[in-house]
Structure 1
């Protein structure tokens, strides 16, 4: 247990040092390029924070692998690793702290994607462009169940819409139009105050009833039609929380629309981070336990380059699947599954050598 605590703390300490160093180095370079376009000390601090958060969202898995490499090098240079083996600890027992810590940190990273952590780049861009609202979608025209909806302006942050028109269809025929100067999303439904409703009857002849026009103070409609999902799905944006992505997937499935893009984003947030844990297992067993038989500096350089290469491949597959060129399951999921198989093989067989 003492060995587990010692190695775990060593790994966690190096992880936080590397992760925040990478994040704020990235943010610092970006800040030096754009500082002149930012007005006010508070704006600059916020911009640095958001850019650092965005960098952390990209570099978190890489930091998991790099910190394992640095931690094992520290164990080797201090002769602690050889001492553990001499005391009777097996490779599996020394590897377990790295597996558990990387697994728990990966779960933490995934949990952050349930929050506005994923919108850090959007917030930074809003500060740069001096915008009050992060997104204002204009001239949105979408289909929802048996209705077509036109929205002149949609403000997701306020859950409001301006100049909304709802065209209700039945068996391919237009039967009703609802007009509203504004609308507000109230939890699960949209409320349209001072709505104008035009109902078209079924026309059988000249004596049939004509158009019926009504005015209502409050109309409840479009249950489950969430504003954030609207802008993300129908404008093609990729800034989702995991909950938003799940809701968007359900919405697209219910409307019988293409879901590959949302599935790609969901897999990228939930599945792809585990590639780091797989590399931690594979690379740990690739580093020799002592410095006499090999050049540790060269090994560290090669493994760092390999980490960046694998991360680049995973990200490339995500971007390709996002564009619809390949099925998402054959992109990110397949790559992580292959790495998982390699990690499982290494843990079961290479630890016995």
Structure 2
């Protein structure tokens, strides 16, 4: 038996209203406190301060929305319990699983919306706020780059992400721990997934049949293709630090794995954006099934403290695991995925138990409908 449309919309509307109130209120409160703390360090006109507040708000909304999903769940549950909404729904023959569906569907919708936003510039709110706050620190952050590319090592004096240009660079090709060729360029520009140097000077070593060095060969090449796959934005984020959008996370992950470099930081960011918020959906199920739905069995203060405390504790633990994964202290593949998997399995077990308990009642309702 499904959930009637009117009932579904009634529950979802109340939940989403509480979610928006809590999300806007909490995020603006945190932004206001942060703005007061940083006001003395924000130089420039009003536009600069407004942008800082807006970018900080974007970051805070993305950070706390899983927690707000649970806070809105707790608020709505307590409100329905004290208004006897659940009792009324049970009297109409609804089971717990049917009442849970609107809550869970609303949570999934919120998760999908914010995951979609993480594919856009919304994901870079924190980085943009930091750039406004620490303008001097970020001004020369991309000078003197040195990194690995396949079997080569690359040096560039400067990366200009705005114009998608690498300036005054050298590439050292290595075989068997020896430099066999060097490539020097004054400028290379990014186009269609690759860097192109209009003019490059190549010096190659010449060897005899016994492998002894006999000399060097110099030549000049036009429009030489370099560094396939190093997108400017990914390039910048790897060296500056900060976060990634989902699209850039996947690109950076592919690039770092291809180069044989550690991708723990990128994986930690990717898991934090996609996997970690799922804990809120799992705990929605746990909250609903583990909470008494009758007024006489509930004390509002104790229930609110228990629900909010468990939500905050779980959220804080997962955020700590994310930071440890970013710093390489733990393996993100294990440290960030295992707690989520445990919560999902526990929620599934609770749902399965409720399904078995409600199965006889569902059959009776079905038989009654047929007799009628």
Q: TM-score, normalised by structure 2?
A: 0.87
Out of 340, 344, 351, which is 1:347 matched to?
A: 351
Out of 185, 188, 191, which is 2:193 matched to?
A: 188
Q: Is the 8 A contact 1:321 1:327 kept in 2?
A: yes
Q: How do residues 330-345 of structure 1 correspond to structure 2 at under 5 angstroms?
A: 330-345=334-349
- Distance in 2, matches of 1:209 and 1:320, equals 52
The 1:22–1:134 alpha-carbon spacing in structure 2 relative to 1, beyond 3 Å, is farther
Number of aligned residue pairs: give it.
351
> Which position in structure 2 is the counterpart of 1:57?
62
Query: For the aligned residues, what is the CA RMSD?
Result: 2.3
> Which position in structure 2 is the counterpart of 1:129?
134
Q: How do residues 202-351 of structure 1 correspond to structure 2 at under 5 angstroms?
A: 202=207, 210-233=215-238, 235=239, 237-350=241-354
How far 1:32 sits from its partner (Å)? 0.9
- Distance in 2, matches of 1:89 and 1:158, equals 61
Out of 103, 120, 123, which is 1:118 matched to?
A: 123
The 1:306–1:203 alpha-carbon spacing in structure 2 relative to 1, beyond 3 Å, is same
The 1:17–1:42 alpha-carbon spacing in structure 2 relative to 1, beyond 3 Å, is same
How far 1:323 sits from its partner (Å)? 2.6
> Which position in structure 1 is the counterpart of 2:362?
none
How far 1:220 sits from its partner (Å)? 1.9
- Is 1:11 aligned to 2:15, yes or no? yes
The 1:279–1:230 alpha-carbon spacing in structure 2 relative to 1, beyond 3 Å, is same
How far 1:258 sits from its partner (Å)? 2.7
Q: Cα deviations across residues 33-59 of structure 1 (Å, max 9, x unaligned)? A: 122333211111111110111111110
- Distance in 2, matches of 1:334 and 1:238, equals 25
Q: Is the 8 A contact 1:136 1:154 kept in 2?
A: no
- Distance in 2, matches of 1:167 and 1:64, equals 52
Q: Is the 8 A contact 1:238 1:265 kept in 2?
A: no
| Larger deviation, residues 107-116 vs 331-340 | 107-116
- Distance in 1, matches of 2:67 and 2:162, equals 32
> Which position in structure 1 is the counterpart of 2:97?
92
How far 1:203 sits from its partner (Å)? 5.0
Q: Structure 2 stretches of 5 or more lacking a match?
A: 359-372
Q: Structure 1 stretches of 5 or more lacking a match?
A: none
How far 1:327 sits from its partner (Å)? 2.3
